[in-house]
Structure 1
């Protein structure tokens, strides 16, 4: 712990904004992970409730269930049912359901892109802190005794490099979290699309829809 404190104190004033960026990024990562995990579970539970209703052609109950839940899969299926009441064309119904998926994507991707930006900011702050530290070091060396210049310069450079090291230490986990959240978001979007096609195929049984070939599985 003393080593960490000494490392932080020797890095100079730029260590504090880097630490702030790291804290904000970690908080954002946790919030997004919790949200996406809850969204995935909600979609799975809602789909499991929608499936038997669709198989019984109880579309009124499906719409009521979609209104009671915040899961995107409910709104997607409800949009398909609403369009089905207007036109028997399968492709038109599918377009309505795809529109529901597109409406859900922004909420799933919200604020995730900030993590990459925060990682870049952390790296740049570390580099800026190192450059400012080197400028101050060379200025101090210029006014020092000749016998002290080598020692003073090496110590100053070591302190200045702490800022770059801390900037990279903050940027690397933020980039990893960004990649993990993007992967999780993509999985949810793919599951919504597959669930929509599964529901569309069930809805089309017994109806004279014009088909457009696409296949998929239900939400896992």
Structure 2
């Protein structure tokens, strides 16, 4: 016999909340996949641009990087423009650090929401189970011990259903948040590496 929301009793509201959290988490996961898809791209493009920069073809190098779509491309392109304008030293390094932090901040947007969903969903599921167990034992007390064991068991498994639902919501959100964070860390390293390589070429063209 299929389970309806009425059968879940106190857990019905929690199941509905978990369903909304699940929908939200999957929307966020798709959005982040699209956003982070190219965050580490452009390696070949940057290598070509660095080659042009080393040869003194600085305008061509910067123009090549302006076609890039990754944070490292944008940050390195700005660094090239700044060097052409004569900006350098600690002032340029500070500005590049600020821009790099802004790029990473944009990439990390909504990751906290996924982490929050992963943390809260099991707790909501456990709350639903506890409420369902309380309801089941209240019914047993009202029956003064004459309740059918199968009815009591049915109430218990329906209560446990909320815990299972909470875990089903939390696990994908937790896995996605972890994978996204790792990819963002790699993107940050790519930005640092690209900028560092450019500054090294600028100071030591033959390095």
Normalising by the smaller structure, the TM-score range is 0.7 to 0.9
Cα distance per residue 1:171-201 (max 9 Å; x no partner): 1221111111111111111111111111111
Give the alignment of 1:84-99 within 5 angstroms.
84=83, 85-89=85-89, 91-99=90-98
| Partner Cα distance (1:9, 1:56) in 2 | 74
TM-score, length-scaled by structure 2: 0.81
| Distance (Å, rounded) in 1 between the aligned partners of 2:63 and 2:79 | 14
Q: How far apart, CA to CA, are the structure 2 residues paired with 1:78 and 1:189? A: 16
Comparing 127-136 with 79-88, which one deviates more in the overlay? Answer: 79-88
How far off its partner does 1:160 sit? 0.6
> What's 1:119 paired with?
118
Number of residue pairs aligned between Structure 1 and Structure 2:
202
Aligned match of 1:182: 181
**Is 1:22 matched up with 2:22?**
yes
Please say if 1:60 is aligned against 2:62: no
- Residue number in structure 2 paired with 1:71: 70
Cα pair distance change 1:95/1:59, threshold 3 Å: farther
Q: Deviations over 1:67-122 (max 9, x none)?
A: 55443223322332344333453x44333322321121111111112111011221
Q: Give ranges in structure 2 of 5+ residues lacking alignment.
A: none
TM-score (norm 1): 0.77
- Show the counterpart of 1:216: none
* Residues 123, 167 of structure 1: 8 Å contact kept: yes
Taking the aligned partners of 2:88 and 2:24, their CA distance within structure 1 comes to 50
Larger mean Cα displacement after TM superposition, 45-54 or 189-198: 45-54
2:124–2:166 contact (8 Å) kept in structure 1: yes
Distance (Å, rounded) in 2 between the aligned partners of 1:20 and 1:198: 46
Q: Tell me what 1:168 maps to.
A: 167
Deviation at 1:17, TM superposition (A): 1.9
Moved more, 68-77 or 165-174: 68-77
Q: Distance in 1 between matches of 2:6 and 2:182?
A: 37
Q: Describe the shift of the 1:10–1:175 C-alpha distance in structure 2 as closer, same or farther (beyond 3 A).
A: farther
In the alignment, is the contact (CA less than 8 A) between 1:65 and 1:74 conserved in 2? no
Aligned to 1:81: 80
